[in-house]
Amino acid sequence: MLYYYIIDRKDILRITICIRVLKVKKMSKTFEKLQPYLDKAMAMETALSLFEWDDQTAAPFEAAGYTSRVVGIISDEYMKCLINDDVKKLLGKLQEEKEQEELTDKEKAIVKKLAKKYEQLERIPPEEFKAFNELTIVAGRAWAKAKKDKDFGHFAPYLKKIIEYKKKFAGYRVKKGQQLYDVLLSDYEECFGIKDLDEFFEKIKKEIVPLLKQVAGKADTIDKSYNYLTYDVEKQKKFCRYLSGYLGFDFNRGVIAESAHPFTLNLHNHDVRITNKFKENNLESAIFSIIHETGHALYELNIDDSLTQTMVGTGTSMGMHESQSRLFENVIGRSEAFWIPIYAKLVELYPENMKNVSLEQYIRGINKSEPGLIRTEADELSYPLHIIIRYEVEKAIFSGEVDVEDLPGLWNRKYKEYLGITPTNDADGILQDIHWSFGEFGYFPSYAIGSAISSQIFARMKEVMPVDEYLKEGNITPIREFLRDNIHKYGATKNTNQILKDVTGEEFNADYYINYLKDKFSRLYGL
């Protein structure tokens, strides 16, 4: 017997929805076979991150030599679970057009990321990969001792070995027409190579250096002597914790510790860790370090749950990552609007030092441009020159123009050339950054790219919301939500230029950064 039913438009709609639900893609069988390898690799990566965290925050000094063996074994296992014939076959199949059609957007992004990772690691002999990871553990400790003793000679042998490995690893991957340094840059920001950075930095030098010289003549018009008084470190810790929470750091999913060099580390979006460093005679140092690192942390905390603990469950690039930290640290964190609701808390914490410092003086002080030796304490205007110096030194290293022993001299000459000052010791010069002890060559340009991107994003943000009014009200939520919905939640499923195009309507444009700096410092110094 046949039954006929009369159905209306609503019924049709419901049926259509049901059909669509039924058509939702299940995980492809090929990707399903790949998943255990990805899960194991992620577990290994998490373990290595934990060792890195422990090494920088809590591990005893003499542990490094022994811990390095453990790290070496885990890194070897990590390589084995990703670089093998089974994964190679599965990856090759997943890159075929037919298989691509069966993948979700998330799976496609993971396959793309894995393909890049496979290319990075496949050509590296496992024993070299293991040895390199062991080396970075002991090199980190050597760097810390060398910095403490202000003696580059102690770190030089370790750095020489690290550079040799990085040259070798880049050489395994370099393509025709590519430079070794191009390969390293692509590990941190795939949208920018040497050609792009040369153009960007030349523009910075042309537009910003003359402004810096103008400002230098008026540096004495801003008094920030209050910054170098004595500030109790325990009170600094209390205020920095408050600041991080004020910006939106979730202490149920994150922790703050101390280290020789502030950094952010994520295990997944429910375990994001940041560190800070405190100086008794520099109030600003810890304040803006914690704002910077909280910017990084918010990115990782806001990555969508469906992406975390996958290859695309982190920030898309270091350039985009640094844009978030520099946005909070400088564009927002050094604005008057940001401090209006919270400045009284800082004064209340240090009444003896701050009671006679008006909000206006404080804002002028935290924005004062004055060439200094230390990158992490540099003002916004001189900061890109610190990055240009490192970029040019790294280019010289990987083009074979300079030997390790000659690096302090090259470093000091460039500081004299660009900033008019010369380091008096290695700790304030060639040893001030920890990055090279990890082999992170190619990372530094990300800071300048990030600064530029932050200006571009902020310009768009101001078009769609009253940012200053929100800040004056102490309402960070709309800003955080804008960044989460437009950038953070996508993890590494989009590259930098894709995100910029979606958010701002155009790809990377350094003019926003240059205009931001010119406008800000011209007003600050009455130029």
Q: Are 483 and 302 in contact (CB under 8 A)?
A: yes
Residue in 201, 290, 289 with CA at minimum distance from that of residue 513: 201
The residues, ordered by sequence, that sit 6+ positions from 107 with a Cβ below 8 Å of its Cβ are: 27, 28, 31
The angle at the Cα of 55, spanning 53 to 59, to the nearest 5 degrees, equals 120
Q: What is the SS3 assignment for 260-295?
A: CCCCEEEEECCEEEEEECCCCCCHHHHHHHHHHHHH
Please name the helix (run of DSSP H) or strand (run of DSSP E) that holds residue 258, with its range, or none: strand 254-258
Does residue 96 carry a catalytic annotation?
Answer: no
The angle at the Cα of 418, spanning 412 to 420, to the nearest 5 degrees, equals 75
The angle at the Cα of 226, spanning 374 to 475, to the nearest 5 degrees, equals 85
Spatial distance between the Cα atoms of 399 and 25, rounded to a whole number of angstroms: 48
Q: Are 78 and 108 in contact (CB under 8 A)?
A: no
Other CB atoms within a 10 A radius of the CB of residue 450 amount to: 24
Q: Are 333 and 288 in contact (CB under 8 A)?
A: yes
Local structure of 314: helix, strand or coil: coil
The residues, ordered by sequence, that sit 6+ positions from 402 with a Cβ below 8 Å of its Cβ are: 393, 396, 410
Q: What is the SS3 assignment for 464-503?
A: HCCHHHHHHCCCCHHHHHHHHHHCHHHCCCCCHHHHHHHH
Spatial distance between the Cα atoms of 289 and 284, rounded to a whole number of angstroms: 8
Indicate which residue of 99, 189, 293, 329 is catalytic: 293
Q: How many residues does the chain have?
A: 527
Active-site amino acid positions: 293
